[in-house]
A and B are shown apart, each in its own frame.
Chain A
């Protein structure tokens, strides 16, 4: 289309590279640091390329610091959040998108309003509730907290996907004798499957990256997720940056893979789902 763009392509590529340098800078530092030995961390001047390239940090975090333990906890919490969230959000989204009832607008306002609260504000009350319910130091507690904070986003997104399905399709199924729940399961969900997967993975990532709830609700080492486990490298007198960056790198990989799977859908959902409601 525009010849301006063709003419200035080298310029655009240069600009892209500059912007990438800006946005990826900490990750370059991460990679550089994780390949250094503990002795080279605190050396002046700092080097980009380690003098003694070492992969020892990987074995150290894996064997000495049992990173697998934290991976496992993160996985349980993230998968649990994802599952519980879908069980709760999909029916609610269907109701909002397709059924007429008193208070529909109120529910939508509530969902929007809840988006705005920070976990910081409710964490102390949540702690009391969980303590009374014996949910401290359990995955259940962490999953519940993460779910509550992702319901509104998930319901909102799913409402968008459901609304986008032409009502004729649903009506046809109803005429064929499908019940409401039947249409939801057999007609609506398969059509909205890409959206559903997007929402699920987004919940997974949110729970995987969560920090404050884990910090507050989990004391037992065996149940700490990765974000918390990585913090043990912040010692009392100095930080073991080489181990911290190694773990951060390992924690980032699965999230990145998942994110790339859903990124297009997610953006489309955020952009259009947000508008069409």
Chain B
């Protein structure tokens, strides 16, 4: 046993490992102090009674958890968050795929089109959300004016005014922000697929749909997985869009967990409750990330 301890030590505390720790030191110090500690504090807040400024008062165990879990609004919000995330990511993937497919066709202006499709990704989400709010305005906004004037929809809904349409319009803005990312990743994948595969498909007499299903999709399968996982993290955490467009309204019809955390914490100063919901988001996201990490490391092993 003694020998193996020594060898372990020389294996893990040699010059190479020391250098590695030294190189990682700044990053780790920053992350521990400004990321891990704040998150730990959130856990503490969820287990303590807090005053209106978020200072810990006395240990309260699971009291705040029971309080939050006993409200119907919390469960509705959690389910809505799940629907929000899944729906948005699916639409992003589908729309991204369509855009990637049209960009993969050669024609003049393709480069310009590609550049234009990127704009929503490059621009700042809070500013984009403000723009959309103006677009959606029922009286003065150009969206409904255009729909009416062109006769496409003579009586368009008040986008942010009713629960269903507000949910759709809010989720659309989230989708809109996330589509270019998907499209470009997919496009990169498609362009990496060997042309030989398509040619042999032609020889076998495959039609366009068959080639898409049997060549394109398998060719970019791992990219679809990675992109949807990344996108679901961003979608789940999309605070800015909801906060700026609806603040969760009408009623709570567009409230998702991350905006509920903000509302309970910063607007109502109920920090324990906010912390509980934050912890719930940790749990959900950790599960998502574990799936992600597993995929990630499996891919690494495969290569």
A-contact 0/1 string along B160-188, CB 8 Å cutoff: 00000000000000001001110011011
A144 touches B30 (CB 8 A): yes
B135 contacts A277, C-beta separation under 8 Å: no
Q: Which of A92, A102, A124, A230 lies in contact with B24, CB distance below 8 A?
A: A92
The CA of A125 and the CA of B98, in the complex, are separated in Å by 42
B140 pairs with A42, CB closer than 8 A: yes
Task: Evaluate contact between A259 and B261: CB separation under 8 angstroms.
Answer: no
Task: Quote the shortest CB–CB distance from B88 to chain A (angstroms).
Answer: 16
Q: State whether A259 touches B118 (Cβ < 8 A).
A: yes
Per the CB 8 Å criterion, the residue count for chain B at the interface is 104
- The tally of residues in A whose CB lies under 8 Å from a CB in B reads 97
Interface string of B129-145 (1 = CB under 8 A from A): 01110110001111101
| A157 in contact (CB, < 8 A) | no
Q: For residue A14, which residue of chain B has the nearest CB? A: B102
User: Is B5 close to A, CB under 8 A?
Assistant: no
Asked if A274 lies at the interface with its beta carbon under 8 angstroms from chain B, I say: yes
Interface pair A33/B134, CB less than 8 Å apart: yes
Q: Decide if A101 touches B117 in the complex (CB within 8 Å).
A: no
| Residue contact A122 to B39, C-beta cutoff 8 Å | yes
Residue from B17, B41, B130 in contact with A102 in the complex, judged by beta carbons closer than 8 Å: B17
Q: Choose, from A53-61, A65-73, A107-115, A187-195, the stretch at the interface.
A: A107-115
Q: Indicate with 1 or 0, residue by residue over A232-252, a CB within 8 angstroms of chain B CB atoms.
A: 001000010100110010011
Interchain CB contact under 8 A, A89 and B188: no
Chain A residues positioned under 8 Å from B99 (CB to CB): 19
Which residues of A are found within 8 Å of B237, using beta-carbon distances? Answer: 116, 118, 120
Whether B292 and A26, one on each chain, are in contact in the complex, defined by CB atoms closer than 8 angstroms, is no
Please pick, from B145, B207, B293, the residue contacting A46 in the complex, using a CB distance under 8 A: B145
| A1 touching B199, Cβ below 8 Å | yes
27 examples of A-B residue contacts, CB within 8 angstroms: A1-B195, A1-B202, A5-B105, A12-B102, A19-B117, A23-B116, A29-B135, A29-B141, A43-B140, A88-B26, A92-B23, A95-B21, A96-B24, A100-B16, A114-B35, A120-B239, A121-B39, A121-B278, A124-B54, A148-B34, A209-B123, A230-B130, A239-B134, A248-B123, A268-B188, A274-B296, A277-B297
Taking A116-B237, A122-B42 as known contacts, 17 extra A-B pairs with beta carbons closer than 8 A to each other, sorted by chain A number, are A30-B131, A91-B26, A92-B27, A99-B16, A99-B19, A116-B233, A118-B237, A125-B41, A129-B34, A144-B30, A209-B127, A212-B240, A267-B188, A270-B230, A271-B226, A275-B300, A277-B296
- Which residues of A are at the interface with B, using a C-beta cutoff of 8 A? 1-2, 4-5, 9, 12-13, 15-16, 19-20, 23-30, 32-33, 41-46, 48, 87-89, 91-92, 94-96, 99-102, 104, 107, 109-110, 112-122, 124-126, 129, 144-145, 147-149, 151-152, 155, 180, 205, 208-212, 227, 230, 234, 239, 241, 244-245, 248, 251-252, 255-256, 259-260, 263, 267-268, 270-271, 274-277
